Amino acid sequence: MIGAGTIGLLCAAVAAQRGASPIVVVAKHPHQAELAERMGADLMIQLGKADPVKAMREACDGGPDAVIDCVAAGTSFSSALAAARRQGRVVVVGEATRPLLAALGPVIHRELEVTGSFCYGTTDGKPDFAWAIELIQDGKVDVERLVTHTLPLHRMEEAFGIAADKSSGAIKVIVRFAE
């Protein structure tokens, strides 16, 4: 997983439940890396402390079978392409707000499959949302871990500020309407 926000962390948790191994998560902030481990990741790579492409390729003996880009910004897509093993898959889950720029050499030379994912797919004939709800209901994915801040309604402006500043330790910020 490239990205350890809500989507990346949940992707790691689901991958762990589905038996993927090793699960490698690239995180921008230390608190994201810590939470990734609790969500099922085997290896956390913090941006700026290690080369994510090199670390993913080493951890997965030549590259992951699949790289999920949960950021779709900056160099995340080109890193995903560079990390994936020969004939591997790159899935873009993060919604790009700007054009993603990447050389297509890795796609061609290593015969990569590149696909996008939007929340309404199916796996084994079952809607993804049904899988997700089942994992949560069965206690296999603990979404409560994602809630890092809870504030009352009268502090909503502060809540938005915390949510926008990921260096604050925020993953998910909840605003309570009643105490």
Q: What is the CATH number of domain 6-137?
A: 3.40.50.720
Distance CA 129, CA 122 (A): 8
- The model's pTM is 0.87
- For the record, the structure tokens of 117 come out as 């994912």
pLDDT in tens, the chain (179 residues): 999 999 999 999 999 998 999 999 999 999 999 999 999 999 999 999 999 999 999 999 999 999 999 999 889 999 999 999 999 999 999 888 888 888 899 999 999 999 998 776 777 888 877 888 888 899 988 899 999 999 999 999 999 999 998 888 999 999 999 86
Give Cα 51 distance to the centre of its chain. Answer: 17
Q: Domain limits of the chain?
A: 6-137, 147-176
